[in-house]
Chain A
Amino acid sequence: MLNALSAEALKMRTHKATWFLVWLYPILFTILFLIAITVGLFGGDPPEQSTLADWIDETAMIWNVPGNSVGRYLMAAFVAVVFAGEYGWNTWKLIVPHRARAALIASKYVLVLILFTVTFILTGLISIIGTWADDTLTGDTIPAGITAAGLLRAHWIGYVAALGPILVTMAYASLAAILTRSTIAALVIAIVVTTIEQIVFNLGPVLSINFPAVTHFLYNLLPGYHLGNLDSWLSEGSAYRGEFPSGRVVALPWTTSLGVVAAWIAALVTATFAAFKRQDIN
Protein backbone atom coordinates (compact mmCIF):
# COMPACT_ATOMS: atom_id res chain seq x y z
CA MET A 1 0.00 0.00 0.00
CA LEU A 2 2.81 2.42 0.89
CA ASN A 3 4.55 1.55 -2.38
CA ALA A 4 1.37 2.28 -4.33
CA LEU A 5 0.93 5.56 -2.43
CA SER A 6 4.53 6.53 -3.10
CA ALA A 7 4.08 5.78 -6.82
CA GLU A 8 0.86 7.78 -6.91
CA ALA A 9 2.56 10.74 -5.24
CA LEU A 10 5.49 10.60 -7.66
CA LYS A 11 3.06 10.50 -10.57
CA MET A 12 0.80 13.37 -9.53
CA ARG A 13 3.14 15.78 -7.80
CA THR A 14 4.18 17.56 -10.97
CA HIS A 15 0.94 17.18 -12.89
CA LYS A 16 -0.70 20.43 -14.01
CA ALA A 17 -3.94 19.47 -12.29
CA THR A 18 -2.13 19.35 -8.96
CA TRP A 19 -0.83 22.87 -9.50
CA PHE A 20 -4.13 24.30 -10.70
CA LEU A 21 -6.53 22.46 -8.41
CA VAL A 22 -4.51 21.76 -5.25
CA TRP A 23 -1.65 24.23 -4.88
CA LEU A 24 -3.98 26.89 -6.25
CA TYR A 25 -5.09 27.90 -2.73
CA PRO A 26 -1.76 28.72 -1.07
CA ILE A 27 -0.58 30.45 -4.25
CA LEU A 28 -3.81 32.46 -4.55
CA PHE A 29 -3.85 33.42 -0.87
CA THR A 30 -0.21 34.51 -1.01
CA ILE A 31 -0.98 36.74 -3.99
CA LEU A 32 -4.11 38.13 -2.31
CA PHE A 33 -2.23 38.98 0.87
CA LEU A 34 0.56 40.64 -1.10
CA ILE A 35 -2.05 42.72 -2.92
CA ALA A 36 -3.83 43.55 0.35
CA ILE A 37 -0.59 44.62 2.01
CA THR A 38 0.40 46.72 -1.00
CA VAL A 39 -2.99 48.41 -1.12
CA GLY A 40 -2.88 48.90 2.67
CA LEU A 41 0.57 50.48 2.50
CA PHE A 42 -0.14 52.81 -0.38
CA GLY A 43 -3.92 53.15 -0.30
CA GLY A 44 -4.11 55.38 2.73
CA ASP A 45 -7.05 53.56 4.35
CA PRO A 46 -7.57 54.38 8.05
CA PRO A 47 -6.36 51.72 10.53
CA GLU A 48 -8.97 49.09 11.43
CA GLN A 49 -9.72 47.39 14.71
CA SER A 50 -10.81 43.71 14.65
CA THR A 51 -12.22 41.75 17.53
CA LEU A 52 -10.31 38.69 18.68
CA ALA A 53 -12.95 36.31 17.29
CA ASP A 54 -13.10 38.07 13.91
CA TRP A 55 -9.32 38.11 13.61
CA ILE A 56 -9.06 34.37 14.28
CA ASP A 57 -12.02 33.60 12.01
CA GLU A 58 -10.37 35.58 9.23
CA THR A 59 -7.26 33.41 9.43
CA ALA A 60 -9.41 30.26 9.26
CA MET A 61 -11.58 31.28 6.31
CA ILE A 62 -9.84 28.77 3.99
CA TRP A 63 -11.78 26.02 5.76
CA ASN A 64 -14.99 27.44 4.26
CA VAL A 65 -13.76 26.54 0.76
CA PRO A 66 -14.32 22.76 0.94
CA GLY A 67 -17.94 23.27 2.01
CA ASN A 68 -18.60 25.83 -0.70
CA SER A 69 -20.07 24.65 -4.02
CA VAL A 70 -17.28 26.15 -6.14
CA GLY A 71 -14.65 24.69 -3.82
CA ARG A 72 -16.29 21.30 -4.15
CA TYR A 73 -16.37 21.59 -7.95
CA LEU A 74 -12.62 22.27 -7.95
CA MET A 75 -11.97 19.33 -5.64
CA ALA A 76 -14.17 17.11 -7.83
CA ALA A 77 -12.13 18.13 -10.86
CA PHE A 78 -8.90 16.99 -9.21
CA VAL A 79 -10.43 13.72 -8.04
CA ALA A 80 -11.73 13.11 -11.57
CA VAL A 81 -8.22 13.61 -12.99
CA VAL A 82 -6.62 11.31 -10.43
CA PHE A 83 -9.12 8.48 -10.88
CA ALA A 84 -10.20 8.77 -14.52
CA GLY A 85 -6.85 9.99 -15.82
CA GLU A 86 -5.61 6.41 -15.88
CA TYR A 87 -8.27 5.62 -18.50
CA GLY A 88 -7.39 8.63 -20.62
CA TRP A 89 -3.68 7.89 -20.47
CA ASN A 90 -4.44 4.17 -20.91
CA THR A 91 -2.11 3.46 -18.02
CA TRP A 92 -4.16 1.07 -15.91
CA LYS A 93 -2.55 -1.61 -18.09
CA LEU A 94 0.83 -0.49 -16.86
CA ILE A 95 0.12 -0.75 -13.14
CA VAL A 96 -2.85 -3.07 -12.57
CA PRO A 97 -0.86 -6.30 -13.12
CA HIS A 98 1.60 -5.30 -10.41
CA ARG A 99 -0.54 -4.30 -7.47
CA ALA A 100 -3.91 -5.33 -6.07
CA ARG A 101 -6.67 -3.21 -7.55
CA ALA A 102 -7.95 -2.31 -4.09
CA ALA A 103 -4.51 -0.97 -3.14
CA LEU A 104 -4.35 1.16 -6.28
CA ILE A 105 -7.74 2.74 -5.55
CA ALA A 106 -6.98 3.13 -1.84
CA SER A 107 -3.69 4.87 -2.65
CA LYS A 108 -5.55 7.38 -4.82
CA TYR A 109 -8.01 8.17 -2.01
CA VAL A 110 -5.21 8.56 0.52
CA LEU A 111 -3.11 10.75 -1.77
CA VAL A 112 -6.03 13.04 -2.62
CA LEU A 113 -6.97 13.40 1.05
CA ILE A 114 -3.35 14.12 2.02
CA LEU A 115 -2.96 16.71 -0.75
CA PHE A 116 -6.19 18.51 0.15
CA THR A 117 -5.27 18.45 3.84
CA VAL A 118 -1.76 19.76 3.18
CA THR A 119 -2.89 22.51 0.83
CA PHE A 120 -5.61 23.76 3.19
CA ILE A 121 -3.30 23.63 6.23
CA LEU A 122 -0.63 25.46 4.24
CA THR A 123 -3.18 28.04 3.17
CA GLY A 124 -4.28 28.39 6.80
CA LEU A 125 -0.69 29.08 7.84
CA ILE A 126 -0.34 31.61 5.03
CA SER A 127 -3.57 33.23 6.24
CA ILE A 128 -2.24 33.58 9.80
CA ILE A 129 1.10 34.99 8.63
CA GLY A 130 -0.54 37.16 5.97
CA THR A 131 -3.15 38.61 8.34
CA TRP A 132 -0.49 39.34 10.94
CA ALA A 133 1.83 40.90 8.33
CA ASP A 134 -0.99 42.91 6.81
CA ASP A 135 -2.04 44.35 10.19
CA THR A 136 1.52 44.98 11.29
CA LEU A 137 2.66 46.67 8.07
CA THR A 138 -0.47 48.70 7.45
CA GLY A 139 -0.91 49.86 11.01
CA ASP A 140 -4.10 47.93 11.81
CA THR A 141 -4.41 46.90 15.43
CA ILE A 142 -3.89 43.23 16.21
CA PRO A 143 -6.36 42.33 18.97
CA ALA A 144 -4.92 41.24 22.30
CA GLY A 145 -5.30 37.67 23.51
CA ILE A 146 -4.30 35.77 20.37
CA THR A 147 -2.71 32.49 21.39
CA ALA A 148 -1.39 29.51 19.50
CA ALA A 149 -3.97 27.34 21.25
CA GLY A 150 -6.78 29.66 20.13
CA LEU A 151 -5.60 29.62 16.53
CA LEU A 152 -5.07 25.87 16.59
CA ARG A 153 -8.57 25.28 17.95
CA ALA A 154 -10.18 27.43 15.25
CA HIS A 155 -8.27 25.73 12.47
CA TRP A 156 -8.86 22.27 13.92
CA ILE A 157 -12.62 22.87 13.99
CA GLY A 158 -12.38 24.21 10.45
CA TYR A 159 -10.55 21.09 9.33
CA VAL A 160 -13.00 18.70 10.98
CA ALA A 161 -15.93 20.59 9.45
CA ALA A 162 -14.25 20.51 6.03
CA LEU A 163 -13.59 16.76 6.16
CA GLY A 164 -17.24 15.90 5.46
CA PRO A 165 -17.55 17.89 2.20
CA ILE A 166 -14.06 16.79 1.11
CA LEU A 167 -14.82 13.10 1.59
CA VAL A 168 -18.33 13.28 0.10
CA THR A 169 -16.99 15.12 -2.96
CA MET A 170 -14.18 12.59 -3.33
CA ALA A 171 -16.70 9.77 -3.11
CA TYR A 172 -19.00 11.27 -5.79
CA ALA A 173 -16.22 12.03 -8.26
CA SER A 174 -14.27 8.80 -7.78
CA LEU A 175 -17.31 6.58 -8.36
CA ALA A 176 -18.30 8.62 -11.41
CA ALA A 177 -14.73 8.35 -12.72
CA ILE A 178 -14.56 4.57 -12.39
CA LEU A 179 -18.02 4.04 -13.88
CA THR A 180 -17.68 6.45 -16.80
CA ARG A 181 -13.91 6.00 -17.39
CA SER A 182 -13.83 9.65 -18.42
CA THR A 183 -12.43 12.69 -16.62
CA ILE A 184 -14.93 15.08 -18.20
CA ALA A 185 -17.92 12.83 -17.57
CA ALA A 186 -16.84 12.25 -13.98
CA LEU A 187 -16.48 15.97 -13.41
CA VAL A 188 -19.87 16.76 -14.97
CA ILE A 189 -21.61 14.08 -12.92
CA ALA A 190 -19.90 15.20 -9.71
CA ILE A 191 -20.88 18.82 -10.38
CA VAL A 192 -24.49 17.88 -11.13
CA VAL A 193 -24.82 15.67 -8.04
CA THR A 194 -23.17 18.27 -5.80
CA THR A 195 -25.42 20.98 -7.20
CA ILE A 196 -28.57 18.93 -6.68
CA GLU A 197 -27.46 18.16 -3.14
CA GLN A 198 -26.85 21.86 -2.44
CA ILE A 199 -30.11 22.95 -4.10
CA VAL A 200 -32.11 20.53 -1.98
CA PHE A 201 -30.33 21.79 1.15
CA ASN A 202 -30.45 25.53 0.44
CA LEU A 203 -33.75 25.72 -1.44
CA GLY A 204 -35.51 22.79 0.21
CA PRO A 205 -38.03 24.95 2.10
CA VAL A 206 -38.94 26.78 -1.15
CA LEU A 207 -39.17 23.58 -3.20
CA SER A 208 -41.32 21.96 -0.53
CA ILE A 209 -44.19 24.35 -1.37
CA ASN A 210 -44.77 22.42 -4.60
CA PHE A 211 -43.23 19.04 -3.77
CA PRO A 212 -43.48 18.67 -0.01
CA ALA A 213 -43.07 14.90 0.36
CA VAL A 214 -40.21 14.47 -2.13
CA THR A 215 -38.36 17.53 -0.90
CA HIS A 216 -38.63 16.52 2.73
CA PHE A 217 -37.48 13.01 1.93
CA LEU A 218 -34.46 14.24 -0.06
CA TYR A 219 -33.67 16.89 2.53
CA ASN A 220 -33.26 14.17 5.14
CA LEU A 221 -31.65 11.66 2.81
CA LEU A 222 -28.99 13.59 0.87
CA PRO A 223 -25.75 14.64 2.57
CA GLY A 224 -26.38 18.40 2.05
CA TYR A 225 -28.40 19.08 5.23
CA HIS A 226 -26.24 16.71 7.28
CA LEU A 227 -23.00 18.40 6.21
CA GLY A 228 -24.55 21.75 7.11
CA ASN A 229 -25.82 20.34 10.40
CA LEU A 230 -22.39 18.98 11.35
CA ASP A 231 -20.85 22.34 10.52
CA SER A 232 -23.46 24.05 12.68
CA TRP A 233 -22.81 21.72 15.62
CA LEU A 234 -19.05 22.33 15.31
CA SER A 235 -19.21 26.10 14.91
CA GLU A 236 -22.37 27.04 16.83
CA GLY A 237 -22.76 24.12 19.18
CA SER A 238 -26.35 23.54 18.07
CA ALA A 239 -28.28 21.86 15.27
CA TYR A 240 -28.97 23.57 11.96
CA ARG A 241 -32.68 24.32 11.83
CA GLY A 242 -34.24 23.57 8.49
CA GLU A 243 -37.59 25.33 8.72
CA PHE A 244 -40.26 24.46 6.17
CA PRO A 245 -43.34 26.56 5.28
CA SER A 246 -45.52 23.71 6.48
CA GLY A 247 -44.19 24.27 9.96
CA ARG A 248 -41.94 21.25 9.97
CA VAL A 249 -38.52 21.81 11.42
CA VAL A 250 -35.54 19.57 10.75
CA ALA A 251 -32.97 19.86 13.54
CA LEU A 252 -31.14 16.60 14.04
CA PRO A 253 -28.52 15.53 16.55
CA TRP A 254 -24.96 15.58 15.24
CA THR A 255 -24.67 11.81 15.68
CA THR A 256 -27.51 11.24 13.20
CA SER A 257 -25.93 13.53 10.62
CA LEU A 258 -22.53 11.96 11.17
CA GLY A 259 -24.07 8.53 10.62
CA VAL A 260 -25.83 9.61 7.41
CA VAL A 261 -22.70 11.27 5.98
CA ALA A 262 -20.55 8.27 6.95
CA ALA A 263 -23.09 5.91 5.34
CA TRP A 264 -23.01 7.93 2.10
CA ILE A 265 -19.23 7.97 2.00
CA ALA A 266 -18.96 4.26 2.87
CA ALA A 267 -21.55 3.27 0.26
CA LEU A 268 -20.00 5.33 -2.54
CA VAL A 269 -16.44 4.29 -1.75
CA THR A 270 -17.42 0.64 -1.45
CA ALA A 271 -19.19 0.88 -4.81
CA THR A 272 -16.02 2.40 -6.31
CA PHE A 273 -13.84 -0.44 -5.04
CA ALA A 274 -16.37 -3.06 -6.19
CA ALA A 275 -16.84 -1.51 -9.64
CA PHE A 276 -13.10 -1.31 -10.25
CA LYS A 277 -12.50 -4.83 -9.00
CA ARG A 278 -15.00 -6.22 -11.53
CA GLN A 279 -14.00 -3.96 -14.38
CA ASP A 280 -12.40 -5.29 -17.56
CA ILE A 281 -9.56 -3.08 -18.74
CA ASN A 282 -9.47 -3.38 -22.50
Chain B
Amino acid sequence: MNDTGAPVLELADLSKTYGRRGKGVAAVQGVSLSVGAGEVYGFLGPNGAGKSTTIRMLIGLITPTSGEARLFGEDLRANPHVLRRVGSLVDGGNFYPFLSGRRNLEVLARTQGHGAERIDALLDQVGLAGSGRRKVKGYSTGMRQRLGVAAALLGDPDLVILDEPVNGLDVAGIQEMRDLIRSLATDHGKTVFLSSHLLHEVQQVCDRVAIISKGEIVRESTIEDLLRQDDGLRIEAGPSDVAEAALASRWAVERDGDALIVRATRAEAPEVVRRLVGAGADLFRLAPEQRNLEEVFLSITQEGTPDA
Protein backbone atom coordinates (compact mmCIF):
# COMPACT_ATOMS: atom_id res chain seq x y z
CA MET B 1 0.00 0.00 0.00
CA ASN B 2 1.17 3.54 -0.63
CA ASP B 3 0.88 6.48 1.68
CA THR B 4 -2.80 6.94 0.82
CA GLY B 5 -3.52 3.33 1.72
CA ALA B 6 -4.38 2.35 -1.85
CA PRO B 7 -2.44 -0.38 -3.63
CA VAL B 8 0.44 0.92 -5.70
CA LEU B 9 -0.86 -0.97 -8.71
CA GLU B 10 -4.35 -2.31 -9.19
CA LEU B 11 -5.84 -3.88 -12.29
CA ALA B 12 -9.59 -4.40 -12.31
CA ASP B 13 -11.09 -6.60 -15.00
CA LEU B 14 -8.60 -5.30 -17.54
CA SER B 15 -9.18 -6.54 -21.08
CA LYS B 16 -7.78 -5.88 -24.52
CA THR B 17 -9.29 -7.11 -27.75
CA TYR B 18 -7.60 -6.45 -31.07
CA GLY B 19 -9.73 -6.06 -34.15
CA ARG B 20 -13.45 -5.62 -34.41
CA ARG B 21 -15.56 -6.64 -31.50
CA GLY B 22 -17.15 -10.00 -32.13
CA LYS B 23 -14.44 -10.98 -34.59
CA GLY B 24 -11.57 -9.58 -32.56
CA VAL B 25 -8.77 -11.44 -30.85
CA ALA B 26 -8.81 -11.19 -27.07
CA ALA B 27 -5.21 -10.69 -25.96
CA VAL B 28 -6.08 -10.03 -22.33
CA GLN B 29 -9.34 -10.92 -20.62
CA GLY B 30 -10.53 -9.70 -17.24
CA VAL B 31 -7.15 -9.43 -15.58
CA SER B 32 -7.42 -8.31 -11.97
CA LEU B 33 -4.56 -8.06 -9.52
CA SER B 34 -3.24 -5.81 -6.84
CA VAL B 35 0.32 -4.97 -5.82
CA GLY B 36 1.16 -3.33 -2.52
CA ALA B 37 3.98 -0.92 -1.72
CA GLY B 38 7.42 -2.46 -1.40
CA GLU B 39 6.39 -5.75 -3.00
CA VAL B 40 8.32 -7.52 -5.72
CA TYR B 41 5.55 -8.95 -7.85
CA GLY B 42 6.17 -11.50 -10.58
CA PHE B 43 4.06 -11.78 -13.70
CA LEU B 44 4.52 -15.17 -15.32
CA GLY B 45 3.18 -16.67 -18.47
CA PRO B 46 4.19 -18.45 -21.64
CA ASN B 47 4.81 -16.54 -24.86
CA GLY B 48 1.64 -14.95 -26.18
CA ALA B 49 -0.13 -15.26 -22.84
CA GLY B 50 -0.78 -11.51 -22.60
CA LYS B 51 2.05 -10.37 -20.31
CA SER B 52 3.40 -7.70 -22.63
CA THR B 53 -0.05 -6.44 -23.57
CA THR B 54 -0.90 -6.08 -19.89
CA ILE B 55 2.34 -4.23 -19.17
CA ARG B 56 1.79 -1.92 -22.14
CA MET B 57 -1.68 -1.09 -20.84
CA LEU B 58 -0.10 -0.38 -17.44
CA ILE B 59 2.23 2.26 -18.82
CA GLY B 60 -0.20 3.89 -21.20
CA LEU B 61 1.12 2.49 -24.47
CA ILE B 62 -2.06 0.55 -25.20
CA THR B 63 -5.60 1.60 -24.39
CA PRO B 64 -7.59 -1.14 -22.65
CA THR B 65 -10.80 -2.26 -24.34
CA SER B 66 -12.41 -2.42 -20.92
CA GLY B 67 -11.49 -2.46 -17.27
CA GLU B 68 -9.35 -0.16 -15.25
CA ALA B 69 -5.70 0.27 -14.35
CA ARG B 70 -5.05 2.24 -11.19
CA LEU B 71 -1.63 3.45 -10.12
CA PHE B 72 -1.18 4.91 -6.64
CA GLY B 73 -4.95 4.98 -6.34
CA GLU B 74 -5.41 7.06 -9.51
CA ASP B 75 -7.20 5.89 -12.62
CA LEU B 76 -4.54 5.85 -15.34
CA ARG B 77 -6.91 7.03 -18.04
CA ALA B 78 -8.20 9.94 -15.99
CA ASN B 79 -4.80 10.95 -14.70
CA PRO B 80 -1.96 9.78 -16.95
CA HIS B 81 0.45 12.11 -15.10
CA VAL B 82 0.64 9.44 -12.42
CA LEU B 83 3.03 7.62 -14.78
CA ARG B 84 5.68 10.10 -13.72
CA ARG B 85 6.03 7.97 -10.59
CA VAL B 86 6.64 4.88 -12.71
CA GLY B 87 9.83 3.69 -14.34
CA SER B 88 9.62 1.00 -16.98
CA LEU B 89 11.74 -1.29 -19.08
CA VAL B 90 9.79 -2.74 -21.99
CA ASP B 91 11.04 -4.91 -24.86
CA GLY B 92 14.58 -5.11 -23.59
CA GLY B 93 15.32 -1.43 -23.79
CA ASN B 94 14.74 0.50 -26.98
CA PHE B 95 16.95 3.50 -27.50
CA TYR B 96 18.00 5.97 -30.15
CA PRO B 97 20.75 4.00 -31.88
CA PHE B 98 22.53 7.10 -33.17
CA LEU B 99 23.00 8.51 -29.65
CA SER B 100 25.31 7.33 -26.90
CA GLY B 101 23.93 5.55 -23.86
CA ARG B 102 24.51 8.66 -21.78
CA ARG B 103 22.86 10.94 -24.34
CA ASN B 104 19.85 8.60 -24.47
CA LEU B 105 19.45 8.98 -20.73
CA GLU B 106 19.78 12.75 -21.10
CA VAL B 107 16.97 12.75 -23.68
CA LEU B 108 14.82 10.71 -21.33
CA ALA B 109 15.67 12.92 -18.34
CA ARG B 110 14.66 16.02 -20.29
CA THR B 111 11.45 14.32 -21.44
CA GLN B 112 10.66 13.54 -17.82
CA GLY B 113 11.54 17.07 -16.76
CA HIS B 114 14.46 15.97 -14.62
CA GLY B 115 18.06 17.03 -14.49
CA ALA B 116 20.94 14.86 -15.64
CA GLU B 117 22.58 14.60 -12.22
CA ARG B 118 21.62 10.95 -11.59
CA ILE B 119 22.86 9.67 -14.93
CA ASP B 120 26.49 8.96 -14.04
CA ALA B 121 25.54 7.18 -10.83
CA LEU B 122 22.96 5.06 -12.67
CA LEU B 123 25.39 4.14 -15.45
CA ASP B 124 27.81 3.08 -12.75
CA GLN B 125 25.08 1.14 -10.93
CA VAL B 126 24.21 -0.91 -14.02
CA GLY B 127 27.84 -1.44 -15.02
CA LEU B 128 27.92 0.88 -18.02
CA ALA B 129 30.13 3.61 -16.61
CA GLY B 130 32.84 2.83 -19.15
CA SER B 131 30.48 2.54 -22.12
CA GLY B 132 28.19 5.50 -21.54
CA ARG B 133 29.74 7.57 -24.31
CA ARG B 134 29.54 4.83 -26.93
CA LYS B 135 26.67 4.86 -29.40
CA VAL B 136 23.88 2.49 -28.47
CA LYS B 137 23.95 0.84 -31.91
CA GLY B 138 27.21 -0.77 -30.81
CA TYR B 139 25.77 -2.14 -27.57
CA SER B 140 25.18 -5.83 -26.99
CA THR B 141 21.72 -7.06 -25.98
CA GLY B 142 22.84 -7.28 -22.37
CA MET B 143 24.20 -3.72 -22.43
CA ARG B 144 20.92 -2.43 -23.83
CA GLN B 145 19.11 -4.31 -21.09
CA ARG B 146 21.31 -2.68 -18.45
CA LEU B 147 20.75 0.73 -20.02
CA GLY B 148 17.03 -0.02 -19.96
CA VAL B 149 17.19 -0.62 -16.24
CA ALA B 150 19.08 2.65 -15.78
CA ALA B 151 16.37 4.38 -17.83
CA ALA B 152 13.67 2.80 -15.69
CA LEU B 153 15.33 4.14 -12.53
CA LEU B 154 16.15 7.57 -13.93
CA GLY B 155 13.23 9.43 -12.41
CA ASP B 156 13.68 7.73 -9.03
CA PRO B 157 10.25 6.11 -9.49
CA ASP B 158 8.12 4.59 -6.75
CA LEU B 159 7.00 1.76 -9.02
CA VAL B 160 9.41 -0.02 -11.35
CA ILE B 161 7.93 -2.16 -14.13
CA LEU B 162 10.42 -4.52 -15.73
CA ASP B 163 9.52 -6.67 -18.73
CA GLU B 164 11.92 -9.62 -18.89
CA PRO B 165 14.76 -7.72 -17.17
CA VAL B 166 17.35 -10.51 -17.31
CA ASN B 167 17.00 -11.26 -21.02
CA GLY B 168 20.38 -11.17 -22.69
CA LEU B 169 22.35 -11.00 -19.46
CA ASP B 170 25.14 -13.43 -18.65
CA VAL B 171 25.21 -15.43 -15.43
CA ALA B 172 27.00 -12.70 -13.49
CA GLY B 173 24.66 -10.09 -14.93
CA ILE B 174 21.63 -12.12 -13.88
CA GLN B 175 22.99 -12.35 -10.35
CA GLU B 176 23.60 -8.58 -10.29
CA MET B 177 20.13 -7.90 -11.67
CA ARG B 178 18.59 -10.19 -9.06
CA ASP B 179 20.41 -8.32 -6.30
CA LEU B 180 19.42 -4.98 -7.79
CA ILE B 181 15.74 -5.91 -8.02
CA ARG B 182 15.69 -7.14 -4.43
CA SER B 183 17.52 -4.06 -3.19
CA LEU B 184 15.04 -1.77 -4.96
CA ALA B 185 12.36 -3.11 -2.65
CA THR B 186 14.30 -3.79 0.53
CA ASP B 187 16.74 -0.87 0.54
CA HIS B 188 14.86 1.78 -1.40
CA GLY B 189 11.24 0.91 -0.61
CA LYS B 190 10.26 0.69 -4.26
CA THR B 191 7.59 -1.55 -5.64
CA VAL B 192 8.70 -3.82 -8.47
CA PHE B 193 6.42 -5.46 -11.02
CA LEU B 194 8.35 -7.78 -13.27
CA SER B 195 7.52 -10.24 -15.95
CA SER B 196 9.84 -13.10 -16.69
CA HIS B 197 9.90 -16.50 -18.22
CA LEU B 198 12.87 -17.43 -16.04
CA LEU B 199 10.95 -19.05 -13.22
CA HIS B 200 14.01 -19.65 -11.13
CA GLU B 201 14.66 -15.93 -11.07
CA VAL B 202 11.08 -15.14 -10.16
CA GLN B 203 11.16 -17.73 -7.40
CA GLN B 204 14.24 -16.05 -5.93
CA VAL B 205 13.21 -12.40 -6.04
CA CYS B 206 9.42 -12.19 -5.96
CA ASP B 207 7.12 -12.02 -2.98
CA ARG B 208 4.02 -12.86 -4.97
CA VAL B 209 3.28 -13.98 -8.51
CA ALA B 210 0.41 -14.04 -10.94
CA ILE B 211 0.36 -16.62 -13.68
CA ILE B 212 -1.31 -15.58 -16.90
CA SER B 213 -2.32 -18.00 -19.63
CA LYS B 214 -4.32 -17.28 -22.76
CA GLY B 215 -4.94 -13.75 -21.57
CA GLU B 216 -6.38 -14.70 -18.20
CA ILE B 217 -4.89 -14.84 -14.72
CA VAL B 218 -5.03 -18.50 -13.74
CA ARG B 219 -3.30 -18.28 -10.37
CA GLU B 220 -2.18 -15.54 -8.01
CA SER B 221 -0.47 -16.20 -4.72
CA THR B 222 2.79 -16.05 -2.83
CA ILE B 223 5.52 -18.31 -4.14
CA GLU B 224 5.30 -20.32 -0.94
CA ASP B 225 1.56 -20.86 -1.27
CA LEU B 226 1.84 -21.62 -4.93
CA LEU B 227 4.31 -24.39 -4.26
CA ARG B 228 2.40 -25.60 -1.22
CA GLN B 229 -0.89 -25.69 -3.11
CA ASP B 230 0.60 -28.15 -5.48
CA ASP B 231 2.30 -30.25 -2.86
CA GLY B 232 1.43 -33.92 -2.88
CA LEU B 233 2.57 -37.28 -1.63
CA ARG B 234 4.83 -39.64 -3.53
CA ILE B 235 3.80 -43.21 -2.78
CA GLU B 236 5.34 -46.48 -3.71
CA ALA B 237 2.79 -49.23 -3.09
CA GLY B 238 1.75 -52.46 -4.70
CA PRO B 239 -0.10 -53.74 -6.49
CA SER B 240 -0.14 -50.31 -8.06
CA ASP B 241 -3.58 -50.80 -9.65
CA VAL B 242 -5.06 -51.62 -6.26
CA ALA B 243 -3.31 -48.67 -4.63
CA GLU B 244 -4.43 -46.27 -7.36
CA ALA B 245 -8.04 -47.50 -7.16
CA ALA B 246 -8.04 -47.06 -3.38
CA LEU B 247 -6.87 -43.44 -3.58
CA ALA B 248 -8.39 -42.14 -6.82
CA SER B 249 -11.88 -41.99 -5.38
CA ARG B 250 -10.77 -39.18 -3.08
CA TRP B 251 -7.65 -37.49 -4.51
CA ALA B 252 -6.18 -36.77 -7.89
CA VAL B 253 -3.62 -39.45 -8.62
CA GLU B 254 -0.93 -39.44 -11.28
CA ARG B 255 1.47 -42.22 -12.17
CA ASP B 256 5.16 -41.34 -12.24
CA GLY B 257 6.93 -44.56 -13.22
CA ASP B 258 6.31 -47.06 -10.47
CA ALA B 259 5.27 -44.36 -8.05
CA LEU B 260 1.98 -42.62 -7.57
CA ILE B 261 1.74 -38.86 -7.03
CA VAL B 262 -1.29 -38.21 -4.87
CA ARG B 263 -2.58 -34.64 -4.57
CA ALA B 264 -3.13 -34.93 -0.86
CA THR B 265 -1.83 -32.68 1.88
CA ARG B 266 0.65 -33.71 4.54
CA ALA B 267 -2.20 -33.78 7.10
CA GLU B 268 -4.03 -36.31 4.97
CA ALA B 269 -1.11 -38.77 4.95
CA PRO B 270 -2.58 -41.00 7.73
CA GLU B 271 -5.85 -41.29 5.81
CA VAL B 272 -3.88 -42.23 2.69
CA VAL B 273 -2.12 -45.00 4.63
CA ARG B 274 -5.41 -46.27 6.12
CA ARG B 275 -7.00 -46.49 2.68
CA LEU B 276 -4.05 -48.34 1.21
CA VAL B 277 -3.99 -50.83 4.08
CA GLY B 278 -7.77 -51.19 3.93
CA ALA B 279 -7.56 -52.02 0.23
CA GLY B 280 -4.93 -54.67 0.86
CA ALA B 281 -2.08 -52.78 -0.80
CA ASP B 282 1.49 -52.97 0.52
CA LEU B 283 3.06 -49.59 1.28
CA PHE B 284 6.79 -49.42 0.62
CA ARG B 285 7.42 -45.67 0.71
CA LEU B 286 5.54 -42.45 1.37
CA ALA B 287 7.24 -39.06 1.06
CA PRO B 288 6.23 -35.45 0.46
CA GLU B 289 6.31 -34.50 -3.19
CA GLN B 290 7.30 -30.86 -3.67
CA ARG B 291 7.33 -29.56 -7.20
CA ASN B 292 9.45 -26.62 -8.17
CA LEU B 293 7.92 -23.49 -9.62
CA GLU B 294 8.69 -24.59 -13.15
CA GLU B 295 6.64 -27.75 -12.79
CA VAL B 296 3.81 -25.85 -11.13
CA PHE B 297 3.93 -23.24 -13.88
CA LEU B 298 3.87 -25.84 -16.63
CA SER B 299 1.02 -27.77 -15.06
CA ILE B 300 -1.04 -24.61 -14.63
CA THR B 301 -0.41 -23.12 -18.05
CA GLN B 302 -0.88 -26.41 -19.88
CA GLU B 303 -4.19 -27.15 -18.23
CA GLY B 304 -6.84 -27.33 -20.86
CA THR B 305 -4.52 -27.14 -23.84
CA PRO B 306 -5.19 -29.92 -26.38
CA ASP B 307 -1.60 -31.16 -26.44
CA ALA B 308 -0.99 -30.83 -22.73
Contact = CB atoms under 8 A, between A and B. Distances in A.
Are the chains A and B members of one assembly?
yes
Nearest to A279: B63
B189 interface: no
Contacts of A93: 56, 61, 90-91, 94
B56 to A, nearest CB: 7
A15 B98 contact: yes
Contacts of B84: 98
B94 A282 contact: no
Contacts of A278: 63
A280 B17 CA distance: 12
Interface in B99-144: 99, 103-104, 106-108, 110-113
A14 B135 CA distance: 12
Contact of A91 (B86, B96, B110): B96
B59 interface: yes
B61 A92 contact: yes
Contact of A280 (B62, B80, B104, B111): B62
Nearest to B155: A98
Nearest to A7: B110
Interface in A40-98: 89-98
Contact of A94 (B56, B62, B81, B95): B95
B95 A98 contact: no
Which size class do B's interface residues fall under? Answer: 20 to 34
B60 interface: yes
A19 to B, nearest CB: 11
B202 interface: no
B24 to A, nearest CB: 13
Contact of B62 (A4, A10, A100, A282): A282
B61 A96 contact: yes
B61 A281 contact: yes
B151 interface: yes
B301 interface: no
B103 to A, nearest CB: 7
A282 B80 CA distance: 18
A89 B97 contact: yes
Contacts of B26: none
Nearest to A3: B113
A187 B107 CA distance: 26
B56 A98 contact: no
A153 interface: no
Contact of A97 (B88, B97, B113): B88
A96 B60 CA distance: 8
Contacts of A11: 96, 99, 107
Contacts of B1: none
A5 to B, nearest CB: 9
A98 B112 contact: yes
Nearest to B63: A280
A3 B63 contact: no
Contacts of B63: 278, 280
A256 interface: no
A213 B278 CA distance: 98
Contacts of A141: none
A15 B103 CA distance: 12
B259 interface: no
Contact of B108 (A16, A92, A94): A94
Interface of A: 3-4, 6-7, 10-11, 14-16, 89-100, 104, 278, 280-282
12 contacts: A6-B110, A7-B107, A7-B108, A10-B103, A10-B107, A93-B61, A93-B90, A94-B95, A94-B104, A97-B86, A98-B155, A280-B63
Which 8 residue pairs of A and B lie closest in terms of their CB atoms, listed nearest first? A7-B110, A90-B94, A281-B61, A7-B111, A97-B59, A3-B113, A280-B62, A98-B112
Given A90-B94, A96-B60, 14 more contacts: A6-B110, A7-B111, A90-B91, A91-B95, A96-B59, A98-B111, A98-B112, A100-B80, A100-B81, A104-B111, A278-B63, A281-B61, A281-B62, A282-B61
